[in-house]
């Protein structure tokens, strides 16, 4: 390209105005891309801010409905419910998780009844119900796989009975997607979906979430079931297996430090890929913004578009409401 004046090709032409930038934008965000995690607790007319998650709350069920109403008005179509279980209801087998009148089941029913158009998703894992704070049954200091999978499959059915449109197993036990699919189908819930946390890493970025639910492991760590941050090919293997076992959506978690994993998984599976922008990522941006070191709105939107660029179709994020308001111009 020697003719004309240097430089003949000017990339800046496509950045010269807001109109042209918008026109050539390769990726977009919309409120329907977001899954909003919500925390519910026992009680009435109370909301408690989670100390390590500024502006994020645990709600009693009555106030949760008001929160979901706001999410809906912002254009968000899906909530992911987490329940804070009272200490005295925890045991090694996660028995409370199967209680048809448990807090999670009541919350699912209430949200479904109040907002029939909303997709209600539930977290399936034993840690909030476990006296050990682990995602499975503990035997001799080990987290046993197959016995835990039986409980998790029953939990999925219990949430489906309460009205969950999709269940989201976050436990990382082997074989649980297949077992859950079978249990759901047998119980007549062949239309209840599964969003599998397929590549869930043993991450220190879950710290604030464990504060929110008081669910930190009582001994050891989660490295015998959650993945080693060094690995990416293993994530592809896990996601591929979950797809074969019947997962409708696969997920990578955490988000920001794992964008390469999102991309690698996206290229190998044909189901939608979701990413979880976890509590520690939220805390990090919030803390820096509080100090005046980062512009909260700008870094929030930049992080979220980064997920889309990496290949995520859906984003579970504590920024769901704030980002939707930005997108709606309100």
Instruction: Kindly indicate which of the ranges 158-166, 204-212, 244-252, 305-313 contains the residues binding ligand PBG, using the contact rule CB under 6 A.
Output: 204-212
Just list the catalytic residues.
200, 253
Question: Is 125 a residue that touches ligand PBG (CB under 6 A)?
Answer: yes
Residue selected from 201, 206, 307, 319 as contacting ligand PBG according to rule CB under 6 A: 206
CB under 5 to 8 A by kind: which of Mg ion, ligand PBG, none does 106 bind? none
Residue 238 interacting with Mg ion (CB under 5 A) = yes
User: Out of ligand PBG, Mg ion, none, which partner does residue 238 contact, by CB within 5 to 8 A per kind?
Assistant: Mg ion
Q: What is the 3-state secondary structure (H, E, C) of the chain?
A: CCCCCCCCCCHHHHHCCHHHHHHCCCCCCCHHHEEEEEEEECCCCCEEEECCEEEEEEEEHHHHHHHHHHHHHCCCCEEEEEECCCHHHCECCCHHHHCCCCHHHHHHHHHHHHCCCCEEEEEECCHHHECCCCCCEEECCEEECHHHHHHHHHHHHHHHHHCCCEEEECCCCCCHHHHHHHHHHHCCCCCCEEEEEEEEECCHHHHHHHHHHCCCCCCCCCCCCCECCCCCHHHHHHHHHHHHHCCCEEEEECCHHHHHHHHHHHHHCCCCEEEEECHHHHHHHHHHHHCCCCCHHHHHHHHHHHHHHHCCCEEEECCHHHHHHHHHCC
Q: How far is the CB of 320 from ligand PBG (least distance, A)?
A: 12
Is 238 annotated as contributing to ligand binding? yes
Q: Which is nearer to ligand PBG, 33 or 123 (CB)?
A: 123
Q: Which stretch binds ligand PBG (CB under 6 A): 112-120, 205-213, 235-243, 267-275?
A: 205-213
Least distance to ligand PBG from the beta carbon of 123, Å?
5
Binding site for ligand PBG (CB under 6 A): 123, 125, 127, 135, 170-171, 206, 209-210, 278-279
Annotated binding site: 238
Binding site for Mg ion (CB under 5 A): 238
């Amino acid at each position: 390209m020697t003719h004309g004046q240097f430089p003949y090709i000017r990339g800046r032409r496509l950045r010269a105005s807001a109109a042209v930038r918008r026109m050539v934008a390769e990726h977009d965000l919309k409120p329907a891309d977001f899954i909003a995690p919500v925390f519910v607790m026992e009680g009435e007319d109370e909301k408690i801010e989670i100390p390590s998650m500024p502006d994020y709350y645990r709600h009693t069920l009555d106030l949760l409905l008001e929160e979901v109403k706001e999410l809906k008005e912002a254009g968000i179509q899906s909530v992911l419910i987490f329940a804070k279980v009272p200490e005295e209801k925890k045991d090694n087998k996660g028995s409370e998780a199967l209680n048809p009148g448990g807090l999670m089941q009541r919350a699912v029913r209430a949200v479904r009844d109040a907002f029939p158009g909303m997709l209600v998703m539930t977290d399936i894992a034993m840690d909030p119900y476990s006296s050990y704070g682990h995602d499975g049954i503990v035997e001799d200091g080990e987290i046993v796989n197959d016995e835990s999978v039986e409980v998790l499959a029953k939990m999925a059915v219990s949430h489906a009975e309460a009205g969950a449109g999709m269940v989201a197993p976050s436990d990382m036990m082997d074989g649980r997607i297949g077992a859950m699919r079978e249990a759901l189908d047998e119980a007549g819930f062949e239309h209840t979906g599964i969003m599998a946390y397929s590549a869930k890493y043993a991450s220190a970025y879950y710290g604030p979430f464990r504060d929110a639910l008081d669910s930190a492991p009582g001994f050891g760590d989660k490295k015998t079931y959650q993945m080693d941050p060094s690995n990416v090919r293993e994530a592809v293997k896990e996601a591929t297996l979950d797809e074969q076992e019947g997962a409708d959506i696969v997920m990578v978690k955490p988000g920001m430090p794992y964008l390469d994993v999102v991309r690698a998984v996206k290229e190998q599976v044909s189901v939608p890929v979701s990413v979880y922008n976890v509590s520690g990522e939220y805390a990090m941006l919030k803390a820096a913004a509080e100090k005046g070191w980062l512009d909260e709105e700008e870094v929030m939107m930049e992080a979220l578009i980064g997920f889309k660029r990496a290949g995520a179709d859906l984003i579970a994020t504590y920024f769901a409401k704030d980002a939707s308001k930005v997108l709606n111009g309100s």
